Amino acid sequence: MPEASSPIGGTAAPAPRVFSGIQPTADSFHLGNYLGALRQWVSLQDSHEAFYCVVDLHAITVEHDPAVLRRRTKVAIAQLFAMGVDPERATVFAQSHVPEHAELAWVLGCLTGFGEAGRMTQFKDKSSKQGSAGTSVGLFTYPILQAADILLYTPEPGPDEQALRVPVGEDQRQHLELTRTLAGRFNHRFGTTFVEPEAYIPAGAAKITDLQEPTAKMSKSASSPQGIVDVLEEPGPMRKKIMRAVTDTGTEVVYDEEKKAGVTNLLRIYSALEGTAIGDLETRYAGAGYGQFKKDLAQLVLDTFTPIRERTLELLGDEAELDRLLARGAERASRVAVRTMETVRDRVGFVGRGH
């Protein structure tokens, strides 16, 4: 495969790559997205050639309103920049701007077993909630499109191949496994084309749970408003939600996944945000009770998200600039995606167009 040029320009030695995606399916990202994935997007852009995608094609696998999708896509992009994803260093783009995503998904879909796709737990969860009449074929093939997203940005395979890392939360592990399987299958049938991607899942913050139902994942589709902390939330409600987070009848701030799921979730959040070991937090709050612990945690969350909210609003004030950045991201992403797709078409046996 031809070597992809660096999106920053120049012909520097290839760096490992990072690719990740997020759906524009809510008015704000949430604390789980931030700790499970987005923080890592920001840190990895320093050491990797980074591609970050707002996956609007995935967002239409469930019923949606076009105007709302358009607005949420812009808000998603603005939040990424506000969190510190740097449009100079990272390629940030909308999935629908690069049609190769859908094209590669078709090819990979033809390599995926029906039963294999049916075993995806996220599909089973979501489709059981939608009922069979409301479940689209797009929802079924969703993980195949995700595999295509990732594999389009494969580094060149070979003895000196670079890694392809995918920063995600725990809930995406199975989709990453499928992606690796499909990459291996394609390589086996048609010749080595793809590097198998590695999931990059943070220890400790890979599954942030719902503040009201601390055994369930914090989720934009399943959590109640009280269970979820939005990045763009106003300070007052944000503080209240944390103060009202479900704990238990005890008083000790100690980590115990089985008996104290609520406190354990709050400890994980605290530890990840402040960079303090959980054991040190237990010592700090020994005998202090839940009230003080939650109060300090609420302040920490506010201190983290307030600047992001303010910057997001500022960026949304200049839509023309956001559109310009998106267009530039699409152009850089296309440079890589078009080349990968040329190789794929050739390997699969499609006839060239003669130029």
Active site residues: 126, 217, 220
> DSSP H helical segments within the chain, as ranges?
31-33, 39-44, 56-59, 66-83, 100-109, 114-118, 121-130, 137-151, 173-190, 235-243, 261-274, 278-284, 289-316, 319-348
Shortest distance in whole angstroms from residue 67 CB to ligand TYM: 20
Does residue 271 interact with ligand TYM by CB under 6 A?
no
**213 or 252: whose CB is closer to ligand TYM?**
213
Using the rule CB under 6 A, which residue among 49, 56, 149, 233 binds ligand TYM? Answer: 149
- Residues in region 160-189 near ligand TYM by CB under 6 A: 166, 168-169, 171-172, 175
What is the Cα 156 distance to its own chain's centre? 23
Burial 192-222 (b: 16+ CB within 10 A, else e): bbbbbbebbbbeebbbbbbbbbbeebbbbee
Burial 71-90 (b: 16+ CB within 10 A, else e): ebbbbbbbbbbbbbbebeeb
Q: How far is CA 288 from CA 252, 281, 283, 291, 295, in A?
A: 8, 11, 10, 8, 11
Q: How far is CA 70 from CA 76, 221, 323, 330, in A?
A: 10, 18, 12, 16
Mask 186-225, x = binds ligand TYM (CB under 6 A)?
--------------------xxx--------xxx------
**226 or 252: whose CB is closer to ligand TYM?**
226
Mask 15-54, x = binds ligand TYM (CB under 6 A)?
----xxxxx--------xx--xx-----------------
**43 or 283: whose CB is closer to ligand TYM?**
43
Does residue 146 interact with ligand TYM by CB under 6 A?
yes
Does residue 340 interact with ligand TYM by CB under 6 A?
no
DSSP reduced 3-state for 99: coil
Q: What is the C-alpha to C-alpha distance for residues 209 and 228, in angstroms, rounded to an integer?
A: 9
Mask 57-96, x = binds ligand TYM (CB under 6 A)?
-x--------------------------------------
Q: What is the C-alpha to C-alpha distance for residues 123 and 115, in angstroms, rounded to an integer?
A: 12
Shortest distance in whole angstroms from residue 24 CB to ligand TYM: 8
**171 or 346: whose CB is closer to ligand TYM?**
171
Q: What is the C-alpha to C-alpha distance for residues 272 and 43, in angstroms, rounded to an integer?
A: 14
Q: Which stretch binds ligand TYM (CB under 6 A): 7-15, 146-154, 239-247, 320-328?
A: 146-154
**36 or 157: whose CB is closer to ligand TYM?**
36
Q: Which residues bind ligand TYM (CB under 6 A)?
A: 19-23, 32-33, 36-37, 55, 58, 146, 149-150, 166, 168-169, 171-172, 175, 206-208, 217-219
